[in-house]
Amino acid sequence: MGQRFDAIVIGAGPAGSMCGYTLAKEGLETLIVERGKFPGAKNMWGGAYYGPFLHELFSDFWDEAPVERYILRRKFSLLTKGSSLSMEFSTQKFREPPYNSFSVLRAKFDRWLAGKAEQAGAILATGLQADDLLWDGTKVSGIKAGGDEIPANVVVACDGVNSLMAEKAGLRQNLSPEHLKLGVKEIIQLPRETIEQRFFLSGEEGMAWESLGSFTQDIPGGGFIYTNKESLSIGVVVQLSTLAEKKVKANDLLEEFKKHPGIAPYLKDGKLVEYSAHLIPSAGKTMMPALYGDGILVAGDAAGLVLVTGLALEGANFATVSGVAAAETVIAAKKRGDFSARSLVSYQHRLDKNFILKDLEMFKKAPHFLENPRLYNAYPQIACEMAAKIFTSEGKPKEKMVTLLKQAAKDRVSFLQIIKDLWQIKGAL
Ligand X SMILES: Cc1cc2nc3c(=O)[nH]c(=O)nc-3n(C[C@H](O)[C@H](O)[C@H](O)COP(=O)(O)OP(=O)(O)OC[C@H]3O[C@@H](n4cnc5c(N)ncnc54)[C@H](O)[C@@H]3O)c2cc1C
Cα–Cα dist 372/161, whole Å: 24
With contacts defined by CB under 6 A, name the span among 300-308, 350-358, 386-394, 414-422 that binds ligand X. Answer: 300-308
Cα–Cα dist 344/349, whole Å: 10
Q: Does 367 bind ligand X (CB under 6 A)?
A: no
5 close to 150: Cβ distance less than 8 angstroms: yes
With contacts defined by CB under 6 A, name the span among 7-15, 82-90, 328-336, 398-406 that binds ligand X. Answer: 7-15
Alpha helices, DSSP H, located in 173-249: 192-199, 240-246
Out of 228, 239, 282, 317, the residue judged to bind ligand X by CB under 6 A:
317
Residue closer to ligand X, measured from CB, 212 or 302: 302
With contacts defined by CB under 6 A, name the span among 47-55, 188-196, 253-261, 330-338 that binds ligand X. Answer: 47-55
Out of 6, 21, 34, 190, the residue judged to bind ligand X by CB under 6 A:
34
In a 13 Å sphere around the CA of 320, the CA atoms on its Cβ side amount to 19
Out of 7, 8, 12, 150, the residue judged to bind ligand X by CB under 6 A:
12
From the CB of 25, what's the least distance to ligand X, in Å? Answer: 18
Out of 90, 100, 126, 129, the residue judged to bind ligand X by CB under 6 A:
129
120 close to 25: Cβ distance less than 8 angstroms: yes
From the CB of 405, what's the least distance to ligand X, in Å? Answer: 33
- CA distances to 104, 314, 423 from 50, rounded to whole Å, are 10, 8, 30
292 close to 278: Cβ distance less than 8 angstroms: no
From the CB of 315, what's the least distance to ligand X, in Å? Answer: 2
From the CB of 393, what's the least distance to ligand X, in Å? Answer: 40
Q: Does 210 bind ligand X (CB under 6 A)?
A: no
Query: Dihedral of CA 171/174/179/184: which sign?
Result: positive
Q: How many residues does the chain have?
A: 429
Cα–Cα dist 219/252, whole Å: 12
Number of residues interacting with ligand X: please give it, by CB under 6 A.
Answer: 41
Q: Which of 190, 54, 191 lies closest to 110, judged by CA?
A: 54
Out of 25, 42, 179, 334, the residue judged to bind ligand X by CB under 6 A:
42
Q: Which of 172, 133, 127 lies closest to 152, judged by CA?
A: 133
Q: Does 316 bind ligand X (CB under 6 A)?
A: yes
Q: Does 185 bind ligand X (CB under 6 A)?
A: yes
From the CB of 382, what's the least distance to ligand X, in Å? Answer: 28
From the CB of 318, what's the least distance to ligand X, in Å? Answer: 6
Out of 5, 7, 9, 16, the residue judged to bind ligand X by CB under 6 A:
16
With contacts defined by CB under 6 A, name the span among 28-36, 74-82, 92-100, 331-339 that binds ligand X. Answer: 28-36
**H helices, E strands: number in the chain:** 16, 19
Residue 410 CB partners (closer than 8 Å, separation 6+): none
**Phi, psi for 339 (deg, rounded to 5):** -110, 20
Long-range Cβ contact pairs of 166-173 (< 8 A, separation 24 or more): 166/289, 166/298, 166/302, 166/303, 168/132, 168/133, 169/133, 169/140, 169/293, 169/296, 169/298, 170/293, 171/289, 171/290, 171/291, 171/292, 171/293, 171/296, 171/298, 172/289, 172/290, 172/298, 173/289
Q: How many CB atoms lie within 10 A of CB 371?
A: 13
Residue closer to ligand X, measured from CB, 256 or 301: 301
Residue closer to ligand X, measured from CB, 313 or 375: 313
With contacts defined by CB under 6 A, name the span among 44-52, 209-217, 351-359, 401-409 that binds ligand X. Answer: 44-52
Residue closer to ligand X, measured from CB, 73 or 278: 278
Cα–Cα dist 62/43, whole Å: 21
Site string (137-176) toward ligand X, x via CB under 6 A: ---------------------xxx---x------------
Out of 20, 293, 304, 315, the residue judged to bind ligand X by CB under 6 A:
315
Out of 7, 9, 22, 46, the residue judged to bind ligand X by CB under 6 A:
46
| Interface residues toward ligand X, by CB under 6 A | 10-16, 33-36, 42-49, 129-130, 158-160, 164, 183, 185, 235, 237, 278, 280, 300-302, 306, 313-317, 319
